Structure 1
Amino acid sequence: MSIQTSRRTRRTVLRGLGVSLALPWMESLAPRAIAGAATPSAPPRRMAFMFVPNGVHLPDWTPHREGYGFDLPHILSPLASVQDDVMVLSGLTHDKGRANGDGAGDHARSASVFLTGAQPRKTAGENIRSGVSVDQVAAQAAGAATRFASLELGCEAGRSAGNCDSGYSCAYSSNISWSSESTPVGKETNPRLVFERLFGDGTPRKHDKHAAAREEMKKSILDFISDDARKLQNQLGRNDQQKLDEFLYGVREVERRIERSDEDPKISVDVEYPIPKGTPSDYAEHIRLMCDMMVLAFQTDRTRIATCMFADAGSNRSYRHIDVPDGHHDLSHHRGDAAKHAKIREINRFHVAQLAYFLQRLKATPEGNGTLLDHSMICYGSAISDGDRHNNENLPVLLAGHGGGSLDMGRHVRVRSETPMCNLFLSMLDRFGTPVDFVGDSTGRISELQI
């Protein structure tokens, strides 16, 4: 075993049997300052995009007040502890989520258009076509700076082929990340496999071999880098020693939760597909584990770009754990029924509560003179407004994080009607350091984000 420094990210890496554990930035390990040299660069910026299906119940989503100190309606109430880190954006539109002559298939279009702003070709065959998604625009420009150019996660396996929505391929419904017009980037839904990918060393074949060996020995990944960790402690100042202990403890806690998921009986009536080993049967725990993976990936600089689909487009998952046994998609066709509205808003609130968990984790993770949340931009929302109308204007969109101090948060901002959501993406890419002339159907930047 040996302590190394990644040439790509200048992060200290501890290695063991098939383990490559990159550490958070620590002052004790930073290069010594040279007289006359520039001050150390600021922490990198990160972006994450989170998708929820079937729209929301807008009356319980949209704040009544605009600007600072906006009210938190029922759906957004879980954000109370991070309200100053969040911006509610009203008025954004995804025109290419509309039929525009292509007829039915709004759910498939909503996922495909979410990050691309491109009209998907209506086909259930192999000749799929959409556009390059904003996360992949950034990954193609800056992904070489980290071990993984981007990380694509989800909580429903979905399908990659076949007809899933009125003549649209399942590839549209199951993916929000596209590396080219014809290539969706498949998401990983198994937390154990994500964990192994983040901290594994070597080729995928070696990953599997080493993971199997560790599992057979019933040992944690930390057992294999413990010698390196002890040696490193001697090089660290007191604050960084505590930071290392807290980081390793956090990694082990995530690993334990994955192990508990392995032991789950996997009895679930909420989905129609088998739940693989390593995947919790508890939906909230599944989402939170994926959120923890993104936090660890950002903290260790394994990647700076991530996407996560809480569920696939048109998902009809049941939410019995919050006393909503009905299918989500079925409920979204509410036809004005007040009882269905009440159930939909509880599903929406549950999703926002998982977002709040993610933001709180980022905010609780120190980095430099701030936190991971200070240096991140998190876009959360849906490309359908109301699930009954299937409309694509005035989308439910949240932007969280401070983008390295480039965003004026804690506000409800209403942009001009029909403003393309891709204008938000252009603005985010500017702040990420990968500016481009356009994304999808963008027409310009959103000036209201400026501080």
Structure 2
Amino acid sequence: MATTLSRRTVLRSLGTAIALPMLDVMQPGRLLAASGGPSTPPIRMGFFYVPNGMHMPDWTPQSEGTSYQMPETLARLSAHRKHLNVLSGLTLDGARAHGDGGGDHARSVAAFLTGAHPRKTNGADIQNGVSVDQATATQIGAATRFASLELGLETSSQAGNCDSGYSCAYASNMSWRGPTNPMAKENDPRAVFDRLFAGQTEKETRRARSEREKHRKSILDFVEEDAKRLHAHLPIVDRRKLDEYLYSIRDIEKRIAGAEKLGITEEGVPDYPRPLGVPRELSKHSELMMDMIALAYQTDSTRILSFMFTNAGSNRSYKEIDVNEGHHELSHHGKSADKQRGIAKINRFHLDRFEYLLAKLKQIPEGEGTLLDHCMIVYGSGISDGDRHNHDNLPILLAGGGGGRIRSGRHISYKNGTPLCNLYLWMMHQMGAPASAFGDSTGQLDKLG
């Protein structure tokens, strides 16, 4: 029976490398750390962006503290109340016009993780700031296979005019490695799956994929013998964890394969532009991507990721929930009750997808708690009320326990105008990537611990 196992152990075979979840035999607590006491699982950070603001009356609690009542939209997360903080009053000054006129949607995404005010241009001379995920990855990213992951449900653009003279690079990317270097996001769940579980090199990955497709095999078929050898030397609890983990991988493979057969309407034409392998239904697409995120965190393939539900100013309709008007159009509701109901339905649809992720993270045991206990995940938008295009008092959630660093279950109201970047600066310090300042921060956000 194994007594200890390296956290970096993988199951290997032809062009395949499957990282393992956190098993008990990997727990640092089984051996005394050099400091004389047990250490804990790593902390993960994530950032989830939704466009066009929020229907704020259904979002903002009326009272502070732990006894607040969840409004209708937030109530979708009632099962995770103890793992959430609702943060009010945070502001994204970089998304304001500052004399540049229209373009709030593009600015809201470009500034969301950078805190910077992007240069207004639709040419090649884009200029933004470094995003918090990349600033953190620069310091700690070497600890994992992927320093960071950039994901979403729509593709990124690097050029073009997308919003009142702002480049599409601003509107479709929120992660920035440098002021002129947006990080394109991946929206194909199969491509993410291959990155997580295929070989270490591109050549190995192509070879493994070719063999799987040729013989219609699961990726697990290639590591079956390695898995059996490991299984025989694990304690009973870890055998169960390994079995459940491998089952989830095979289940996701089947769903991805099924998704690739979708995407055509009864009339024989695509109902929404998408690359091959992306499900037609947004709910199925998003759930597969949330599965990828959970696996990436569970295997410690990365500790840092960002996710955009759609690009800035998206006017996508949501026929799955009987909202046939475009999202952006509805956000300019002009106090129309019907349009506000439509916006609220879209808000709840996005939040349901986020709830799916939180539920998965909460079901995965890790250390003395769950994977969610070791996460810090920001969910929100760089616009508050889509009709006003305001960037203060933003709709922001902080989910997860941060490895015991976050006291959750509260609505915390800050003075309106408090920089959102204060939260990011605090998060960087918790991740072991301290900085004296970030974006337009005035200090680390208080009241979280």
Change in Cα spacing, 1:418 to 1:262, as seen in structure 2 (3 Å) is same
Q: Which residue of 2 aligns with 1:196?
A: 194
Q: TM-score, normalised by structure 2?
A: 0.95
Write out aligned runs for 1:427-446 (5 A): 427-446=426-445
Pairwise CA distance, 1:276: 2.2
Do the aligned partners of 2:174 and 2:182 also contact (CA within 8 Å) in 1? yes
2:25 matched to which residue of 1? 28
Structure 2 equivalent of residue 354 of structure 1: 353
User: Aligned AA for 1:229?
Assistant: A
Whether the aligned pair in 1 keeps the contact of 2:263 and 2:279 (CA below 8 Å) is no
Q: Give the one of 64, 67, 78 matched to 2:65.
A: 67
1:219 match: secondary structure: coil
Shift of the alpha carbon at 1:433? 1.3
**Are the equivalent residues in 2 in contact too, given 1:52–1:310 (CA < 8 A)?**
yes
Once the two structures are TM-superposed, the CA of residue 208 in structure 1 deviates from its matched residue by 2.6
Distance in 2, Cα, partners of 1:312 & 1:28: 42
Work out the CA distance in 2 between the residues paired with 1:37 and 1:434: 21
Residue 16 of structure 1 pairs with residue 18 of structure 2: no
Q: Could you tell me how far apart the structure 2 residues matched to 1:393 and 1:271 are?
A: 39
Counterpart in the other structure of 1:325: 324
| In 2, Cα distance between equivalents of 1:408 and 1:129 | 37
The DSSP-based 3-state class of the residue aligned with 1:74 is coil
Question: 1:184 maps to which residue?
Answer: 182
TM-score normalised according to structure 1 size: 0.95
**CA offsets 1:261-314 (integer angstroms, 9 cap, x no match):** 111144499998632222111101111111111110111010000100001000
Give per-residue Cα distances to partners, 1:12-52, cap 9 Å, x unaligned.
Answer: 20012211001012123557737987334210000010000
Give the aligned partner of residue 375 of structure 2.
Answer: 376
1:293 alignment counterpart: 292
How far apart in 2 are the matches of 1:265 and 1:46? Answer: 33
Q: Give the match's secondary structure for 1:386.
A: coil
What CA distance in whole angstroms lies between the structure 2 residues aligned with 1:398 and 1:82? 12
Answer with 427-436 or 183-192: which moved more: 427-436
SS at 1:42 equivalent: coil
Percent sequence identity is 53
1:409 equivalent in structure 2: 408
What pairs up with 1:46-85 in 2 under 5 angstroms? 46-85=44-83
- Code of the residue aligned with 1:253 in structure 2: it is D
Q: In structure 2, do the counterparts of structure 1 residues 36 and 372 end up closer, same or farther at CA, with 3 Å as the change threshold?
A: closer
Measured against aligned partners, the alpha-carbon deviations of 1:157-211 in whole angstroms (never above 9, x if no partner) come to: 1422110011100000000000111100110010000000011113224323321
Q: Which residue of 2 aligns with 1:161?
A: 159
Q: How far apart, CA to CA, are the structure 1 residues paired with 2:422 and 2:257? A: 42
SS in 2 for 1:24: coil
Is residue 407–residue 449 contact of structure 1 (8 Å, CA) maintained in 2?
A: yes
Q: Give the match's secondary structure for 2:154.
A: coil
Indicate the residue corresponding to 2:87 in structure 1: 89
Distance 1:287 1:265 in 2: 15
Where structure 2 has 5 or more consecutive residues not aligned to the other structure, the ranges are none
Cα drift, residue 368 of structure 1:
1.1
Determine the structure 2 residue equivalent to 1:278: 277
SS of equivalent residue, structure 1 residue 69? coil
Aligned length: 445
- What is the Cα-based RMSD across aligned positions, in Å? 2.0
